[in-house]
Chain A
């Protein structure tokens, strides 16, 4: 369903961030991508929906090479790929409802979007999603008045509003406190399981990855160094994945981190 072949990406003239990455997924499950900062996790995800343009390689999504698409065809591919961001990336000055409905912008004509005249089905769907993420009381509240956890719930609703075929999540909980972070992870895991939606999620926290993912992929310096089930991920694997001693000890002894 999604297959990444020999993906290479470098920013400017520096060393490539991705050095011939290969990855493929068929299932409808949650795959966690772990690795140090700079390992290429974000670049991998952002290459898929073309927020970043890869230098070479292929990304085959439902039989189409995404890297070859342009214009309208690219927009049509993007609307089938939902994305949740670390910094939420909501349009702050718009209301919760406008942000959720923005998930339909790839489907409605320009003027309908500009004047917020969305089809009745979309409005119903948006209300259902907001109820499901627990924000139905905030429909007309501006997003800059929400807390971090509430904002990410809107982010989740916006991504699902696209009726995506796959969901990308780039460290969706990294800006949140530990308790809220768990709640959001649970929400994403439960919702995507209900919808049989495959998820590719970058996680900073290995414990979370082991708990929620059906499959874990470890990146280091732009190549895959681990690919397996959560219970196959050993401390030796983590030593291979994490570059610095600090990061390694943070992942091996998570309770010490929380004690700090």
Chain B
């Protein structure tokens, strides 16, 4: 180690360049050419009708001028009751959804279950995650009719998909030594889950719940547009009446509410670390 490494000589030269992301030259060029060709093709089939766009501009101006100033007063009570319903949908769906996510999340964690249960847990979580809330909203409005019940069911499934998956990941990352210690006291399977696993995922669970409240509040507005109750429904009917003043009032309150929710959930999540 001593003699040769004491001096760093520069009498030898080496060639180095960063390795390419795609190693083969032909594959690399092929991917670039295919991407460009498809982009050109896709743009050419879009049939953008510039005359129609031009005719639309005055109509857009009309909507915007109708939206200013926002009109909080005319349908004030509708706006308030719409938001109250949205908040109720959000809290109910988040609370019940997180409670249901805990067993499904544990089932979907490979390190604490047997294979068949793991398969079932994963399947439930994947199915719950695979449908976008708007699609779920349409399904539930068809199934149980317009209104808040459809909204709660939609966000419930949405919550199980998201929180269930992240709980499963949290459970898979726990420290195994703590499980071994509780197991060696003679504790049974469910006692081990409650005593050794649950405390380890608790902070993540609280953080996730806060985050999911925030997400569900946004989503509750969107699913209202397809008839699943809450402020989204109020917004939809305001547009239907060409009542752009009320619509913009709703949008402003929505932005404000989400800002407040985000601030609170961010603060609470930091608090639980």
Contact = CB atoms under 8 A, between A and B. Distances in A.
B186 A162 contact: yes
Contacts of A1: none
Interface of A: 49, 51, 72, 75-83, 85, 87, 89-94, 102-107, 110, 113-114, 155, 158, 162
Contacts, number: 82
B195 A81 contact: no
Contacts of A105: 182, 185-187, 191, 195
B260 interface: no
A126 to B, nearest CB: 13
Contacts of A79: 185-186
Interface in B218-241: none
A248 B200 CA distance: 40
Contacts of B181: 83, 85, 89-91, 102, 155, 158
Contacts of B194: 110, 113-114
A91 B184 contact: no
Nearest to B193: A114
15 contacts: A51-B183, A75-B188, A78-B186, A81-B184, A89-B178, A89-B180, A91-B181, A91-B182, A91-B196, A103-B185, A105-B182, A105-B187, A110-B188, A158-B181, A158-B185
Interface in B23-44: none
Contact of A85 (B180, B188, B195, B200): B180
A105 B203 CA distance: 23
A113 B191 contact: yes
B187 A106 contact: yes
Interface in B157-197: 175, 177-178, 180-188, 190-191, 194-196
Given A93-B200, A94-B199, A114-B191, 12 more contacts: A77-B186, A78-B183, A78-B186, A81-B184, A85-B177, A85-B181, A91-B178, A92-B178, A93-B203, A104-B185, A106-B186, A114-B195
Nearest to A51: B180
Contact of A93 (B182, B185, B202): B202
A92 B191 CA distance: 17
Contacts of A93: 199-200, 202-203
A106 B129 CA distance: 38
Contacts of B178: 89-92
A110 B188 CA distance: 8
Contacts of B184: 49, 51, 78, 81-83
B177 A102 contact: no
